[in-house]
Amino acid sequence: MHPQLASDLARLSPLLELTRQRAAAFLDTLPDRPVVPPAPAPGPVPLPEHGAGLQAALEEFGARWEPALSAGAGPRYLGFVTGGATPAALAGDWLTAAADQNSNSSLDGAGQHLERETVDWLRELFGLSGRHRGTFVSGATMSNTVGLAIAREWLGERLGVSVAEDGAAALGRVRVLSGSAHSSVAKALSVLGLGRSALVAVPTLPGREAVDPAALAEALRAADGPCVVVANAGTVNTADFDDLRAIAALRERHDFWLHVDGAFGAFAALSPDHAHLVDGLDLADSVCIDLHKWLNVPYDSAVQFTRRQDLQSTVFRNAAAYLGPLGDDPDLVHLTPENSHRLRALAAWFTLRAYGRDGHREIVERCVAGAQALGRAIEDTEGLRLLAPVRLNVVCFGMDGDPSADRLARLAQELAGEVFFTPTVHAGVPALRAAFSNWRTTAEDVQRIVSALRGAARRY
């Protein structure tokens, strides 16, 4: 064994203790370090020919890279939709790496059984019935991709061809109808060989990002043949929700696969006051839910549910002499794009075990309360303008006067040490958005955000 490896192995326990201390010290800075640091990233250094061991690596990381990392896991990072990591989720993630299981096959230990237990808990959390089966993937983009891959195979079934065998070209022109699809849907269609142009934008309700069900019915009539509908449960700009029940009812007259992108919006199911937003979720053929956002597990984690796991294994099955058979409950290696994968479910298992449904409901409700408070403060601030009602956890706002993208970007940049917003364009108007999805965010954080925003708005 290389002497440096041997010496690290001999000191493994104290070295992990040092690592723990560094992690804890970093976490202690989260409430107050610059949310997005102004310092540029350090320049590259050459590949080390001779290593100096873990302790030296820790020191160099702490000196060169750590100061340039954002407080993405902290309470005032409201950019994109970004969760943090609950204490239990973080512990679960550490133990995932420590155990380093390739939990994809029944030939190995119980890893995939732990994943199935976690999927069952998640299914219950989101109010899905036993007809849905689920798998862990690395994020909502991958969850949308897997859901749409199953949809693609379903289209083949409808048309009497096998996409898994003969390729997407066997389908001819495919239409994927959606009101305000997330950008990852177009990316998924590109990956799946259906093409970005397969995505057809269906008109939304007046002043909303939710699809107009009558317009969708019209588009389905015009499509004349089986298609795919991507319904949105929580759009990124304004957290708007399609009427899932009304959309599902269109299946009485039209032949389509219903995929629901509920990456963060599905968490409305946890709050009795907001669960109506996802009424009908169980009617979907496939569902995408991110976990590294509002479940507050570390990157990278999401879940994909479907009623047609048989089609899922048609797409993703992997035949080799040493792999387990498909059967009724296929090994995970036959269900997702990856072959090998980490015991990704463990972080979710830990946080659900540690805090339960009511702990996670409290996170969701506190985030919604934070968004509502920020929304009210913006309405009460001269110069700022709320661009959409706060339906859940996203606040979409702009400025009076000349709200140029440039002016908003300068405002956001000036604030980035204290609070991080991301720029967007809503209904043609440049805007900023604040998404509340971190378990650490408190009412005091919202106060800090409001004062910073009001101060900056006066100057811009």
Ligand X SMILES: *Cc1c(COP(=O)(O)O)cnc(C)c1O
> How big is the site for ligand X, counted in residues (CB under 6 A)?
14
Piece of 46-54, 87-95, 140-148, 407-415 that binds ligand X (CB under 6 A): 140-148
DSSP 177-241: EESS--HHHHHHHHHTTS-GGGEEEPPBPTT-SSB-HHHHHHHHHHH-S-EEEEEEBS-TTT--B
Q: What is the DSSP-derived secondary structure letter of residue 77?
A: B
Site for ligand X in 51-110 (CB under 6 A): 81
Question: Contact region for ligand X (CB under 6 A) — 135-143, 349-357, 408-416, 441-449?
Answer: 135-143
- We find the least distance from the C-beta atom of residue 232 to ligand X, in angstroms, to be 7
Counted residue by residue, the chain has a size of 460
Q: Select from 344, 290, 278, 373 the least CA-distant residue to 83.
A: 290
Q: Which of residues 257-286 bind ligand X (CB under 6 A)?
A: 261, 263-264
**312 makes contact with ligand X (CB under 6 A):** no
The separation between CA 314 and the C-alpha centre of its own chain, rounded to angstroms, equals 25
Tell me how far, at minimum, the Cβ of 141 lies from ligand X, in Å: 3
DSSP 8-state class, residue 41: P
Nearer to ligand X, 112 or 144 (CB): 144
Q: Note whether 182 binds ligand X by CB under 6 A.
A: yes
Binding flag, residue 140, ligand X (CB under 6 A): yes
431: burial class by Cβ within 10 Å (0-12, 13-18, 19+)? buried
Tokens of 33: 């370090």
Q: Is 406 left (phi over 0), alpha (psi -120 to 50) or beta?
A: alpha
Contact 177, 213 (CB under 8 A): no
Q: Which stretch binds ligand X (CB under 6 A): 119-127, 138-146, 240-248, 341-349?
A: 138-146
Nearer to ligand X, 198 or 303 (CB): 303
Q: 439, 96 in Cβ contact below 8 A?
A: no
Among the candidate windows 21-29, 133-141, 369-377, 389-397, which touches ligand X by CB under 6 A? 133-141
Neighbours of 316 (CB within 10 A): 22
Q: Which of 103, 184, 372, 437 binds ligand X (CB under 6 A)?
A: 184
**Minimum separation from the CB atom of position 290 to ligand X (A):** 5
| Piece in contact with ligand X (CB under 6 A), picked from 134-142, 320-328, 349-357, 417-425 | 134-142
234 in contact with ligand X (CB under 6 A): yes
Counting contacts by CB under 6 A, is residue 139 touching ligand X?
yes
Residues near ligand X, by CB under 6 A: 81, 139-141, 144, 182, 184, 234, 236, 261, 263-264, 290, 302
